[in-house]
Amino acid sequence: MLHIDFNSMLKQFNDNLKISIIQELLAIKREVKDTTQSTSFINQKFELIKTEQEASTKKVKDLEVENEKLKQTVRNLNRRYDRQEQQSRSSNSEIQCVPEMNQKYLCTISTQLAEIKDDEIKIQIFYTARPLPKLPPTVLVPH
């Protein structure tokens, strides 16, 4: 009888131990599953952020290249503008020390000067007479 009770207790102990181990294993499996899902979610977010960052980096590089091209274009246009302005100024006749009044007054003075001087000024036709903006001191004016 003692032997049967001992076997029965041993079987009950084993069954209880099995149930406890199974419950603990199920809890561990749930934790591993949750951890795997979290890791998977974090990995997806990381890949999304990585893709967006690579796209942003490419856009920045493209914008830097475009910006450099635009800067070069502006420099070229400034050079062309400066050359054109120099050419325009060199083909003008400049009359200095005339008070700025109105357009008609400038045209009258220009015409009177053309009549006084026979040489090259008389040959030129005065289409317009207008005051020119003052040049910066760094620009050399032909005399």
- DSSP notation for 91-142: TS----S-----HHHHHHHHHHHHHH--SHHHHS--S---PPPPPPTTSPPP
Above 90 in pLDDT, residue 72? yes
| Region 62-85 average pLDDT | 96
Round the CA-based radius of gyration of the chain to a whole number and report it: 47
123 or 120: which leads in pLDDT: 120
Q: Could you give the C-alpha distances from 96 to 36, 100, 109, 130, in angstroms and in order?
A: 87, 10, 11, 12
18 or 94: which leads in pLDDT: 18
Confidence of residue 93 (pLDDT cuts 50, 70, 90): low
Looking at residue 118, its pLDDT comes to 57
The span from the CA of 84 to the CA of 77, in Å, is 10
Per-residue pLDDT tens for 95-112?
Answer: 666 666 665 666 677 777
Looking at residue 133, its pLDDT comes to 66
Looking at residue 123, its pLDDT comes to 45
| Region 76-96 average pLDDT | 83
Looking at residue 8, its pLDDT comes to 87
Structural contact between residues 111 and 135, judged by C-beta atoms closer than 8 angstroms: no
Query: Cβ of 15: how many Cβ atoms within 10 Å?
Result: 10
